[in-house]
A and B are shown apart, each in its own frame.
Chain A
Amino acid sequence: MQKLQGIAVSPGVAIGEALVMDNEGFRIPRRFVTRDAVDDELERLEAAVEAAGAEIAHNREAVARELGEKYGAIFEAHLQMLQDSRLRSELHEMIRERHYSPEYAVSRTLRRYAQVFQRLESSYLAERVYDIFDIEKRLLRHLLGRRREGLSHLSSPVLILAHNLTPSETANLDRKFVRGFATEMGGPGSHTAIVAEALEIPAVVGIGPFLAEVSGGDTVIIDGDEGVVVLQPDEETLARYRHEVEEKTTLAARLETLRDLPAVTADGVPVELFGNIEFPYEVEHCLDRGATGIGLYRTEFLYLGSATEPTEDVHYQAYSGVVRAMGDKPVIIRTFDLGADKVPHLRPPEDERNPFLGLRSIRLALRNLPMFRTQLRAILRASVLGKVRVMFPLISTLLELRQAKMVLADVMEDLDEKGVPFDRNLQIGMMVEVPAAVMMIDHFVKEVDFLSIGTNDLVQYTLAVDRSNRDVVSLYNSADPAVLKLLTWAIAAAEGAGKPINLCGQMSGNPIYTMLLLGLGLRRMSVTPSAIPEIKRVCRSVSIDQCRAAAERAMGMENARDIKSFLREEVMRNVPELGL
């Protein structure tokens, strides 16, 4: 048994069969074959070598015909390498003596050759490593046939273990069968984290190198609550986790009965519970849990999935689907919120040593007006289909907010001229996620229709902690008194101005903080859809007076650890069934 520690990014526990992906998105197959299968597997290897050989010969002839004999020579070299007698006997030995699968034997042997080339001093010869990789891929393709297609053709439930998952890999993910993710790379807010949360499956990222330790088909455990991945679990560990999964299922079933009940406190104060979504299909998850709106519709996936800039129509298709599905419930669409390094069609930044403080989000949108306007046009067009609201992220100065509003007004004017209908009274809001915005909140509340606190970034900027940096992540804490002070100011200012204020960071989805937030005066929370029932349970179990008292005590404490453990006790006392 091997326990690996990573960063928990999506809660829950999954136990199941591992599907291991290599760096290039190839599925690495089972490592071992049974003794009886050895002859069949050897035959399969021979067939693959023959097919790969025929393919190379065909390429050689085609290239030689087109470009001349000289260019065909490289394929001749590949063909001869493929037929190398030592290589063949090495592969046979691995399959016959060690019972490796042909795929695993090919991968291992050719990677060893690749290492030999990589170590060569002559850079010219070291380049040959790509020829070896080419042969490896060709052989694997023939061995795996259709099965190589990674994540798009699955036939049974699997847990995906990978170096890193790219947007293009997850775009075609077979959602029905994926039960969890564990990746070597990545941090909170990474693509894997977002997709896992959207799929409501557990995920652990940033584990560091571990894929060499595991083989496809092994049983693994992904614990998305503690950020732990267990390889080759022993019986006792398996039993413990199975028990945990069962308990969670029972709790989820009990909470499901809350679906059609309103989120009101025990003393009758209504709370609006919205859902956060990234992908249009998550609307179902929100409606299933009885969300009364979409409090945060992230639009980043539209930019990540393809190499070209999304067209207005691509935006419109996504937005209109969500807005229609939500009917008369509000949908808050957040505009572009990425750094240039993440967007395939934007020029990579030249001087971005500190991306979180760099050209990203609204700053980038205001420098790429045609791209920004395309998105705003699509949002405006969708606004006639339901209750659409637009929200600008990462606002740090009044000037920035005014600029963004001006661009929006300008796009409205354009649409007017063209006779395209849109909602003239479209509500405009901003994310409160930079401490400067909280300092200036008295001014901001006058210029927006609503506000939404993004705690993920607010905590990071307030405490100067990069939460994807393993060395400092322990300093990242939503319960830090400095953060709570900022929340208090923002909520009070919005209340004073009569503007609705929402909290849409991960903090609002954690039931530990629900009483505190209600006590501070927050009446609208937007959470990941799977968290709605738990948060609703807490709301329905407590009174505002209790919450105020808890908030007051918490605000008098000096450090995050005390505050967090006090809040945990409070919620445990009032809602013991959550088992926190």
Chain B
Amino acid sequence: MNLPKATRTVRLSNPEGLHLRAATVIAEVARRYRSKVALHKGSQRAEATEVLQIATLGAAQGEEVVLEASGDDAEAVLDTLVDLFHGGFGHEEDEK
């Protein structure tokens, strides 16, 4: 079985970095696709469906994150995620 794979590199543009709500949005999106998605920051790896893991990456503004997907919709899920990264994860947030 040879699943399609896809990789993208994004640089975090929003000032808060990969914050909690962003992690939640990423996890929600990742769960809607069949592909398995992971985020890498340096040697650290996080499952894209797991909020705690994503948040623990501690990716800050200006840092690079590598997205990897494997599955029949690998390209599609990464396209959506990259859009999210570029859009700063929706509106600026003011939680709490």
Contact = CB atoms under 8 A, between A and B. Distances in A.
Nearest to A131: B20
Contacts of A77: 20-21, 23-24, 51, 55
B56 A116 contact: yes
Contacts, number: 72
Given A80-B27, A122-B17, A125-B60, A86 B51 contact: no
A71 B95 contact: yes
Contacts of A84: 50-53
Contacts of B47: 85-86
Contacts of B96: 71, 74
B62 to A, nearest CB: 10
A313 to B, nearest CB: 40
B87 interface: no
A240 interface: no
The 4 A-B pairs with the shortest beta carbon distances in the complex, nearest first, are A84-B52, A80-B51, A122-B60, A120-B58
Contacts of A70: 93-95
A266 interface: no
B58 A124 contact: no
B24 A76 contact: yes
Contact of B16 (A116, A121, A124): A124
Interface in A315-348: none
B61 interface: yes
Nearest to B27: A80
A73 B21 contact: yes
A87 interface: yes
A84 B51 CA distance: 7
Interface string A96-132: 0000000000000000010011011110110010010
Interface string B23-36: 11001000000000
Contacts of A125: 16-19, 55, 58, 60
Interface in B48-96: 49-53, 55-56, 58, 60-61, 93-96
A86 B58 contact: no
A81 interface: yes
B52 A113 contact: yes
Contacts of B19: 124-125, 128
Nearest to B44: A116
Nearest to B51: A80
Interface size bracket, B side: 20 to 34
Given A80-B27, A80-B51, A125-B16, 5 more contacts: A77-B21, A85-B47, A87-B52, A119-B58, A124-B16
Contacts of A120: 58, 60
Interface string A277-301: 0000000000000000000000000
A252 B51 CA distance: 62
Contacts of B60: 120-122, 125
B20 A128 contact: yes
A74 B21 contact: yes
Contacts of A74: 20-21, 95-96
B61 A122 contact: yes
B56 A80 contact: no
Contacts of B58: 116-117, 119-122, 125
B53 A80 contact: no
A278 to B, nearest CB: 42
Nearest to B61: A122
A207 B47 CA distance: 44
A76 B26 CA distance: 13
Contact of A80 (B16, B24, B95): B24
Contacts of A117: 55-56, 58
B50 to A, nearest CB: 5
Contacts of A80: 23-24, 27, 50-52
B52 A86 contact: yes
A70 B24 CA distance: 12
22 contacts: A70-B93, A70-B95, A71-B95, A73-B24, A74-B21, A76-B24, A77-B21, A77-B24, A80-B24, A81-B51, A84-B52, A85-B47, A85-B49, A86-B47, A86-B50, A86-B53, A117-B55, A120-B58, A122-B17, A125-B16, A128-B20, A131-B20
